[in-house]
Amino acid sequence: MDKWKVQVVGDDVDIRLVMQCFGSEGTFIEECEKEFFMFSESFGQLSSHHEVLLKAMSILSSWNAIVVLQWPSFSFLKSGLVIETHEDGRSTRYHSGFAALNIRFRFDIRLGCAEKETSSQAVWRNLSDNPRKELVLKLWGHPNRTWTQLYRIVEEMEAEVGGLSDAGIADKSELKRFKSSANNAAVAGLESRHRSGQFDAPSNPMNLTEAEEMLRHSVWKFLKRERTEKK
């Protein structure tokens, strides 16, 4: 019997998509009476509901960013109640610092527990021993992406693998077009990395939407790499 579980809040379609992407035996989401809860072996090492909540929030943050890389229309999931199950079968629900006893739960559905590791799980696994990959994912998962934020992502990836085009992560001409656009004040506006007039605008400037789409594919390729040795 799991001691801790954390409610997952969001649209049913988005939650089920995450369940399909992350069906790990160690950390997964289950449905119970039209509600969804996260279980994780890592919760068993924690002693308070606050620690469990922070851990669940960290897991969801990574999962959200990984899923939105593949499906841009995905809406981020959030954590809700933390529930502690006692040995006598009763449960204590923690929310905003308050606790109340609750009845037993009966879980009846588990989705997404795939026998084979999914690409999303592989990416999540790769984060564990690569701080730069984790940083790139966090930068991508930050809402309202700007030119500055996107350029930072490119620089972090380059610091890890060297040339992105040589590593097969980005098209050389499109990467040059992105950098020229991000560096030009006439294109990137207040988010430009350089002063007005310092650089000529590219003949075919890239808008922010195009930049996001290009880097979405590049970030996914970067995160999927099993080895990230600098070229």
Q: For 32-89, what is each residue's pLDDT tens digit?
A: 888 999 999 999 999 899 999 999 999 999 999 999 999 999 999 999 999 998 888 8
Instruction: Using the predicted structure, report yes or no on whether residue 166 has a pLDDT greater than 70.
Output: yes
| Amino acid code (one letter) for 90 | R
- Give Rg (Cα) of the chain: 21
Structure tokens at 154: 């490119």
Q: What is the mean pLDDT of the chain?
A: 84
pLDDT tens digit string along 111-141? 344 457 899 999 999 898 899 999 999 999 9
Dmax over Cα atoms in the chain, in whole Å?
Answer: 71
Residue 18, phi then psi, degrees to nearest 5? -65, -40
Picking from 54-58, 95-99, 213-217, which range would have the lowest pLDDT averaged per residue? 95-99
- Total Cβ atoms within 10 A of residue 111: 16
Q: Counting beta carbons within 10 angstroms of the beta carbon of residue 20, is it exposed (0 to 12), middle (13 to 18) or buried (19 or more)?
A: middle
Residue-level pLDDT at 82 = 95
Where along the chain do its domains lie? 4-118, 129-224
pLDDT at 193: 60
* Residue predicted with more confidence, 168 or 205: 168
CA separation for the pair 148, 74 (Å, rounded) = 23
Does residue 186 register a pLDDT over 70?
no
What letter would DSSP give residue 143? S
- Determine the average pLDDT of the residues in 183-199: 57
Identify which has the larger pLDDT, 190 or 69.
69
Give pLDDT, residue 227. 58
- The two tokens of residue 25 are 């035996």
Q: Could you tell me the pLDDT band of residue 192, with boundaries at 50, 70 and 90?
A: low
CA distance 226 to 127: 10
Lowest mean per-residue pLDDT among 21-25, 31-35, 148-152: 21-25
